[in-house]
Structure 1
Amino acid sequence: MRSPLPSCSASEGRAVEAALSIEHAGGRSMLRRQHVGYPLHVTRGFYLDAAKPDLLTLYLQSASGGLYAGDRIGLDVSVARGAAFHLTTQAATVVHDGRDVGAVQRLTVTVEAGAFCAVTNDPYVLFPGAELTLRTAATVAEDAVLCVADGFAVHDPRGSGRMFTELSSRLRIVRPDGRLLLQDAGRIGGDDLSGALGAMAAAANLVLIAPADRLPSAKSLQQAADACGALAGTSAAPNDAGLVLRILAPDGGILSRAMDAAFHVAAEAALGLTLARRRK
């Protein structure tokens, strides 16, 4: 989310609840309401796409150095009927040693009828001892589009030989009437990484929920990531809800480029045009 980047070196961490509300008015999508406290910061809105001038892009930034032990971060995103919104981060997020309490990041997204919403985070960089829990819940209207992308890479800046402790994630997507579309959960420990990923040190998921006529081909989504040096695979989401892309990469840089390339393929199919690159 996906993401907020709180900072605190104390063991109790930070508790942060943020909210963004996007509406369509006056011919463009705009940030109607926001509640974002320190250390989070939202840039001014950008309209980067001449072919889609109503698409609002926001960069969620941080005044700190990453996620720390004890951090509990929540973000609620609401995209109203007919609005178009892209939320992304300004850079990768460092996840520091969890000190046996870890960090939790929660994202809740509501996408109303006819709306487009993409939440694409740069990878989380898991330092030795990092323990991160990701929880994402989304409600998506029948004719709306949601693209959610999250990934991680492993890094040991001091060459200590230690791995991260654990990464766990859960994604649940429903229709407005509560009907379950997709539920995906996973957990991996640092000691299990080589057995799970082989020679790869980074991985990501991109989930695209959209009507069938606004989906790219599975092959094009996969090829976009593969062309960046990653290893990707695409499958149909349950309940004919969309597509799920899994990506493996040798490092965070390649993973980030593969995620971005796949996002642009997904957005072009959903919106019928090629979006401008998001500079970071």
Structure 2
Amino acid sequence: MQSLPLSSSAFDTGRTAEAHVVAERAGGRTILRRQHVGYPLHVTRGFYLDAARPDVLTLYIQSASGGLYAGDRLTLDVDVGTEAALHLTTQAATVVHHGRGGRSMQQLRIRVGPRAFCAISSDPYVLFPGANLALDATAVVGEDAVLLLVDGLAVHDPRCSGHGFAEYVTQQRVMRPDGRLLLLDRGRLAGGQLRNGALGTMAAAASALLVAPRDKLPGILSLTQAADECGCLAGVSEAPNQAGLVVRMLAPDGGVLTRGIEAVFQVAARAALGVEAARRRK
């Protein structure tokens, strides 16, 4: 009898999985209209955590495996309908394992309809030695809609091997429904650059794109103060084409960065929804 290789063996070429989530407004609140989620991804039942805005739907996306492995290719489609309000977050940080000469890829496709609110705020990706991760997000956002998109990384060497991750590559593209490009944000960080001070003394970093009409944007000072109070070092600038704001954060570790991401979500939600959002427990 021939045994099958384990998921961590050198013969595994990685997993391909797709998830599709559709949130729509019905009966005075946002509901999960449709979902199709493949292993290893899992979406929890919907939560309504905000007493002042009971229409806001919160979903946690989880991984049923031990993180991202070499060659994994995961795709998530998120569709938020007219006047719906969705917050999609993770249950914890995601570990990215050694790439073994390959790359893990995660694609995100987002559509935010008229007068809708969509926040996708993932906890940091924890890059183990040899990890090679590419994130690719494309969002189509209505003129009067709000999108908050956050991703970040934290460096971790559990065995103190002295080796860093291989590479972390990101691309975020935001468009209008008519196809007009609002912004294109690209980043690349090689593990070897950390030894040359790419993050200074910090070991974690994140970017947040906040696309919204002017009257739904928070003040720049409120964003920087909220992140700084959590122990992060934050900077905010205006996005191209008056699309909104771009937030960059550095932190000494993943735990501090997670708190900074949560603080940015709180400030953005307050400006967009007009209320204080409840804490998202994890």
TM-score by length of 1: 0.96
Partner of residue 63, structure 1: 64
SS of the equivalent of 1:224 reads: helix
Letter of the structure 2 residue corresponding to residue 218 of structure 1: I
- How far the C-alpha of 1:8 sits from its partner, in A, is 3.9
Are 1:8 and 1:14, in contact at CA under 8 Å, matched by a contact in 2? no
Partner of residue 272, structure 2: 270
Please give the per-residue CA displacement for 1:175-215, whole angstroms capped at 9, x wherever unaligned. 00011111000111001024211101100001100000010
User: CA-atom RMSD, angstroms?
Assistant: 1.0
Are 1:204 and 1:247, in contact at CA under 8 Å, matched by a contact in 2? yes
SS of the equivalent of 2:207 reads: strand
Letter of the structure 2 residue corresponding to residue 210 of structure 1: A
Partner of residue 139, structure 1: 140
Q: Percent identity?
A: 64
The one of 199, 221, 241 equivalent to 2:201 is 199
- How far the C-alpha of 1:247 sits from its partner, in A, is 0.0
> How many residues are matched?
274
Q: How does 1:40-59 map to 2 (within 5 A)?
A: 40-59=41-60
Please give the per-residue CA displacement for 1:69-99, whole angstroms capped at 9, x wherever unaligned. 0100000000000100000000000000001
**Counterparts of 1:268 and 1:278, CA distance in 2:** 14
Structure 1: 5+ residue runs without aligned partners?
1-6
- How far the C-alpha of 1:238 sits from its partner, in A, is 0.5
Partner of residue 156, structure 2: 155
Q: Which consecutive segments of 4 or more residues in structure 1 shift more than 3 A?
A: none
The one of 234, 237, 242 equivalent to 1:235 is 237
Letter of the structure 1 residue corresponding to residue 22 of structure 2: S
Letter of the structure 2 residue corresponding to residue 148 of structure 1: L
Please give the per-residue CA displacement for 1:133-172, whole angstroms capped at 9, x wherever unaligned. 0000000000000000000000000111100000000000
- How far the C-alpha of 1:40 sits from its partner, in A, is 1.2
Letter of the structure 2 residue corresponding to residue 136 of structure 1: A
- How far the C-alpha of 1:224 sits from its partner, in A, is 0.4
Structure 2: 5+ residue runs without aligned partners?
1-5
Larger radius of gyration: 2
Partner of residue 3, structure 2: none
Are 1:200 and 1:248, in contact at CA under 8 Å, matched by a contact in 2? yes
Are 1:224 and 1:261, in contact at CA under 8 Å, matched by a contact in 2? yes
**Counterparts of 1:69 and 1:110, CA distance in 2:** 29
